[in-house]
Amino acid sequence: MAAVAEPAEEGLIVVGGGIGGLATALAVAGAGWSVRVLERSPDFREIGAGIQLAPNATRLLDRWGLLDRLVDVGVLPSRLVLRSAMSGRELTCLHLDEKFRETYKGPYIVLHRSDLLAALVDACRSRPTITLEVDKTVTEVLEDGDGVEVTCSDGSRRTASALVGADGLWSAIRRRIVDDEPICSGFVSYRGAVPLEAVSEHPSLDDVVAWIGPGLHFVQYPLRRGELYNQVAVFRSDEYARGEEDWGTPEELDRRFASCCPQVVAALPALRRDNRWVMYDREPVASWSSGRITLVGDAAHPMLQYLAQGACQAFEDAACLGAALQGRGADEVAAAFGGYSDARSPQASRVQRRARVWGDIWHVDGVGALLRDELLLQRDPYDYRHIEWLYGPTASCSWRDA
Amino acid sequence: MAAVAEPAEEGLIVVGGGIGGLATALAVAGAGWSVRVLERSPDFREIGAGIQLAPNATRLLDRWGLLDRLVDVGVLPSRLVLRSAMSGRELTCLHLDEKFRETYKGPYIVLHRSDLLAALVDACRSRPTITLEVDKTVTEVLEDGDGVEVTCSDGSRRTASALVGADGLWSAIRRRIVDDEPICSGFVSYRGAVPLEAVSEHPSLDDVVAWIGPGLHFVQYPLRRGELYNQVAVFRSDEYARGEEDWGTPEELDRRFASCCPQVVAALPALRRDNRWVMYDREPVASWSSGRITLVGDAAHPMLQYLAQGACQAFEDAACLGAALQGRGADEVAAAFGGYSDARSPQASRVQRRARVWGDIWHVDGVGALLRDELLLQRDPYDYRHIEWLYGPTASCSWRDA
C-alpha cells in the first residue's frame, strides 16, 4: 500500500460519531486501545426524539459508568403496554418492575437521544486515549497488511491499525465488505419530543405505550424526568405502494390515522411533522468484518425499529468488540474483528429478522388481528418467554459473563 | 285466491326431501300435524360423502328415536384434531369423550350422508301422517288467507295449510320471501368416501382430522364402522380470482396441495375427483317467514361448512318449527312461523357469520398463521369456551329445555 508511507499509528479509527460510534470508542478504549472518532457533522448531535434502552443495553452502560447519569435525565417507565389502535383496548403489558430488573440485571430506561449522546461524548472526552474530531467526512480508505489510512474531504489524513465503520444505515464503509443496499419497508415514521404541556391526551405518564393497528402504530412515552413527551407515528404508505414520488406525507398520515380510536386521534395534533423518516433495514449477513475493517450498529445490521433494539444492539457490538480487542495487539486485529463479527452476527441477525416479524404482528389486519389480540389478551404479563432471548444472557460474547 | 277453490287440506307441505326437509317432516308430524314431502328427484338420495353431527344435532336425533341406528352405522370419533397442512404439526384437539358427551348431552357422530338420509326416510315412512312423494318439482306456489296450493311440473296440485321450503342453497321458495342471491366464496371442494383399503395414508382411524393451511384445508375421517374413509379437499381458487370460466379444476387442486406436508400430499391420490362443489353462503336475514310460508336449513340460512353445522342447524330448525306448531291450528300457522323464524334467526345468523370467520382463521396466511398456530398450541384441549355457544343450550327454542 504505497499511500501508507510511514508506519501506521497504533489504535483504531471509528468512522461516525453517533451513539454506536461513541459507545465503540468507549468500549475499545476500555480495552486499552487508543481511538480516534471522525464525525462528519460540525458537532455531535442526535435527532430530537426519544430512545428506549432495554436491560441488554443498560447492563453495559452501567459497566461503562454511564447508567446513573442516564437514569437521572431519563424516565424509568413502569410498563411496556400494547393497546389496540382501533378499539383502544389494552392487549398486554410487560411490568418493568423489581422482578424484571433483577431477572435481567438492569433497568429499562427511556430518554432523549441528545441526552444519551451528550453522556457518551462527555465520557469519551474524559478519556485521554479517545480523540473526537468533527467536520471530518471520510472520502477514501486505504488498507494494507500494517494498517489503514483514511483521507477526509478537507484533505486531512489519519492512520491507524484498524478501522470501524459506525456510519449508520447508509454506511460507506460497509460497501467495502458487503455488496447490498438498504431495503425500503414502505413504512414512514413521524417522531419527536414535545413539552408535556403541548400534549392534551396521553394514556399514562408511567408507561411506554404502543397503539397497534392495521398497517400502522403509534408510540407514546415521557422523557427527561417527565418534562417532555415523545410521540412516534408509523404507517405503511399507500402512496409508496402506488409508486408516488412524494409519499408518506403529513396528509397521508392524517388520513391513515383518522380511523383510529379517539385516544390516538386526540393525540395526533401534538405530533411533530417537521421531519419524517422512511423505515429501512437490510438482509442479515454472516460476517461484516474484512481484514482490518469492521462495522458496528446500523452499518453492520440495520433493523426495523419494532423491537426498539437499534442502539441496544450497537452497545452489544461495542462491548463485544472491546472484549475481542482486549489484550490483543495491532497484528491480531483482523482475527479479533473476525471473532467479533462471528460472535455477534447470529444474535444481531435474529434481531433483524424478528423485528420484521414483530412489525408484521403489530400491523396485521383482518382475522390475523383478531388472533393476535386474543393471544395477547391471554398472555401472562409476567411471561418472559418472548423477551428472554433478547434481554437475557446469550453465548454470543464473553462480556455477557461479566 | 281464486286458484284454491276448495278448502285447503289441513297440514303442511315440505318442498324438498333432503336431510333438512325430512327432519322437518318428522318434527312437525311429532307435533300432531300431517305432512306431505315433495321431492323433485326420482328417489331420496344424498351425495356419497360424510357428514358430521355435533351434540346440538344428536340430542334431537335421540329425541326422534334415530340416534341408536345412526350410531350403529356411523363412527364415534375420539377427537376433532386441527393440524397444520404445511408443517403437519398437531395444533390442538377437542376430546369427544365421556366428559364432552355429558356436558353436551349427546355424542359427536360422523356418518355417511346416505345412511343418515335412509334413517330419516325410514322414520318418515313409518309415520302414517307423513306422505313422501318423489318426482315432484314444484313450479308454482299460491297462497291466500286459508292455505297454500302448489303446482308441480307434471301438472299435479297439492294443497295444505302452510308450506316449508326445504329446497336448499338455491331455494326457489326463498325468492318469495328474501330478495338475495348466494354469495360465491371462491372456494371449491372435492369430497367423497372411498373404501378404507384405497387410502394408503391416514393420520388416525379414531379422529376427525382437519389439516389447515393458507387458502386451503383437507379433512379426513372414517365412516360406516370404519369400512369407508371420507376425504374433503377445499381450496381458494386462483383461477376463480382471475375470472376464468372453468375454475377449481383437478389440475389446480394438485398444484395448490403440492406444497402441503408429506402426509397430506400422500393422501391426495385417493381423493375423489369425479365431482366438485363450489362453496356458497348468503348474508344472514332477520326473518325467513312470510304468512303461511317459511324456510328451513340451507334455504333459510346457507352457511360455509367450516363449523360442520349445515345439517345440525337444519335439525334445530326442524325441532324449533315442531315446537312452534305444537298445539296450534291452521289459523295460527303464520304466527307460529313468525315465532319460529324469530327464535331461530339469531343463532343461525351467528353460525353463518362465525363459519366465515372460522374459515378465515383456517386459511390465514403469513404472520396470521403464526399467531393462529401459537394460539391453538396454547389452547387447553378441554377448553370448551369456543364451542359452548354452538353445542350448549341456548334460549333460541323451547325444545332446548327438553
E-only strand ranges, B206-261? 207-213, 216-223, 228-236
CB contact under 8 A, A367 and B368: yes
Residues 375-394 of B with CB under 8 A from A: 375, 378
Q: Quick one: cell of A377?
A: 389478551
Q: Give the tens place of pLDDT for each residue, B42-75.
A: 999 888 899 999 999 999 999 999 999 999 999 9
Map residue B311 onto helix, strand or coil: helix
Residue in B104, B221, B229, B306 annotated catalytic: B221
Map residue A17 onto helix, strand or coil: coil
**Beta strands B162-165; B293-295: pairing state:** parallel
Which residues on neighbouring strands pair with residue A150, listed in sequence order? A141, A158
Q: Which chain A residues are Cβ-neighbours of B375 within 8 angstroms? A: 371, 374-375, 378
B interface test, pick of A367, A372, A373 with most B CB neighbours within 10 Å: A367
Of B360, B361, B371, the CB nearest to A361: B371
Helix (H) or strand (E) holding B190: strand B183-195
Helix (H) or strand (E) holding A221: strand A216-223
Half-sphere exposure of B73 (CA within 13 A, CB side): 15
Residues 215-234 of B with CB under 8 A from A: none
The whole-number pLDDT of residue B237 equals 95
Q: Is B108 a catalytic residue?
A: no
Q: Which chain A residues are Cβ-neighbours of B215 within 8 angstroms? A: none
The whole-number pLDDT of residue A341 equals 97
Q: Is the pLDDT of residue B401 over 80?
A: no
Q: Is the pLDDT of residue B196 over 60?
A: yes
The contacts of residue B174 (CB under 8 Å, 6+ apart) are B165, B167, B288, B295, B299, B300
Q: Using a pLDDT cut of 70, give the percent of chain B over it.
A: 95
CA–CA separation, A82 and A72 (whole Å): 26
Distance from the A265 Cα atom to the nearest Cα atom in chain B, whole angstroms: 26
The whole-number pLDDT of residue A47 equals 84
Q: What is the DSSP letter of B364?
A: -
CB contact under 8 A, B364 and A374: no
Distance from the B307 Cα atom to the nearest Cα atom in chain A, whole angstroms: 16
**Scanning every residue of chain A, which has its alpha carbon at the shortest distance from the alpha carbon of B368?**
A368
CATH superfamily of A11-181+282-393: FAD/NAD(P)-binding domain (3.50.50.60)
**Scanning every residue of chain A, which has its alpha carbon at the shortest distance from the alpha carbon of B372?**
A371
The whole-number pLDDT of residue B397 equals 59
Q: Quick one: cell of A330?
A: 495491532
Which residues on neighbouring strands pair with residue B140, listed in sequence order? B151
Nearest Cα residue to A325 out of A163, A144, A176, A165? A163
Of B360, B375, B378, the CB nearest to A366: B360
Q: Is the pLDDT of residue A182 over 90?
A: yes
Q: Give the tens place of pLDDT for each residue, B67-106.
A: 999 999 999 999 999 999 999 999 999 999 999 999 999 9
Of A364, A367, A374, the CB nearest to B360: A367
Half-sphere exposure of A296 (CA within 13 A, CB side): 32
Q: Which chain B residues are Cβ-neighbours of A372 within 8 angstroms? A: 368, 371
Q: Residue B9 — very low, low, confident or very high, per pLDDT cuts 50/70/90?
A: low
Q: Give the tens place of pLDDT for each residue, B225-239.
A: 889 999 999 999 999
When mean pLDDT is compared across A267-281, B16-30, B165-179, the lowest value belongs to A267-281
The whole-number pLDDT of residue B393 equals 82
Strands across the sheet containing A157-160: A138-143, A148-152, A157-160
Q: Give the tens place of pLDDT for each residue, A4-33.
A: 434 445 699 999 999 999 999 999 999 999
Mean per-residue pLDDT for A140-153?
Answer: 95
Half-sphere exposure of A163 (CA within 13 A, CB side): 31
Say if A372 is an interface residue toward chain B (CB within 8 Å). Answer: yes
Q: Residue A202 — very low, low, confident or very high, per pLDDT cuts 50/70/90?
A: confident
Q: Is the pLDDT of residue A228 over 90?
A: yes
Mean per-residue pLDDT for B311-317?
Answer: 97
Q: Which chain B residues are Cβ-neighbours of A366 within 8 angstroms? A: 360, 364, 368
The whole-number pLDDT of residue B6 equals 44
The whole-number pLDDT of residue B198 equals 86
The whole-number pLDDT of residue A48 equals 84
Domain ranges of chain A: 11-181+282-393
Q: Give the tens place of pLDDT for each residue, A45-78.
A: 888 899 999 999 999 999 999 999 999 999 999 9
pTM for this structure?
0.86
Distance from the B25 Cα atom to the nearest Cα atom in chain A, whole angstroms: 39
Q: Residue B394 — very low, low, confident or very high, per pLDDT cuts 50/70/90?
A: low
Distance from the B282 Cα atom to the nearest Cα atom in chain A, whole angstroms: 20
Nearest Cα residue to B116 out of B80, B71, B63? B71
Residues 339-368 of A with CB under 8 A from B: 357, 360-361, 364, 366-368
The whole-number pLDDT of residue A2 equals 40
The whole-number pLDDT of residue B312 equals 97
Mean pLDDT rounded to a whole number for chain A: 93
8 Å CB contact between B104 and B55? yes
Distance from the B372 Cα atom to the nearest Cα atom in chain A, whole angstroms: 6
When mean pLDDT is compared across A4-13, A141-150, A168-177, the lowest value belongs to A4-13
CA–centroid distance for B248 within its chain: 22
Q: Residue A397 — very low, low, confident or very high, per pLDDT cuts 50/70/90?
A: low
The contacts of residue B98 (CB under 8 Å, 6+ apart) are none
The whole-number pLDDT of residue A9 equals 55
